[in-house]
């Protein structure tokens, strides 16, 4: 579990086969977009949860 959080398992899985440079660029761009999307969704969820919270 700790290894998967660090991304080590994913890195080893990627190194198993050669990754073409174009695919690598696509993957890195996708991962960057996904990080931004997940961060924004996390902010949105916390904002919505804050609004519907009962005091």
Q: How far apart are CA 17 and CA 39, in angstroms?
A: 30
Please tell me the predicted confidence (pLDDT) of residue 33.
98
Number of domains in the chain: 1
Please tell me the predicted confidence (pLDDT) of residue 1.
67
Provide the residue range defining the domain that includes 27. 20-55
How do the pLDDT tens digits run along the chain, 55 residues long?
677 777 788 888 888 999 999 999 999 999 999 999 999 999 999 999 988 777 6
Residue 41 placed within a domain: yes
Residue 42 placed within a domain: yes
Please tell me the predicted confidence (pLDDT) of residue 20.
94
Cα 49 to its chain centre, rounded Å, is 22
Q: What is the DSSP secondary structure assignment for residue 20, as one 8-state letter?
A: -
Please tell me the predicted confidence (pLDDT) of residue 55.
62
* 8 Å CB contact between 9 and 3: yes
* 8 Å CB contact between 28 and 22: no
Residue 40 placed within a domain: yes
Please tell me the predicted confidence (pLDDT) of residue 7.
79
């Amino acid at each position: 579990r700790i290894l998967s959080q660090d991304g080590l398992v994913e890195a080893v899985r990627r190194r198993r086969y050669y990754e073409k440079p174009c695919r690598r660029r696509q993957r890195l761009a996708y991962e960057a977009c996904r990080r931004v999307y997940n961060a924004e969704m996390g902010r949105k969820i916390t904002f919505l949860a804050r609004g519907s919270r009962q005091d």
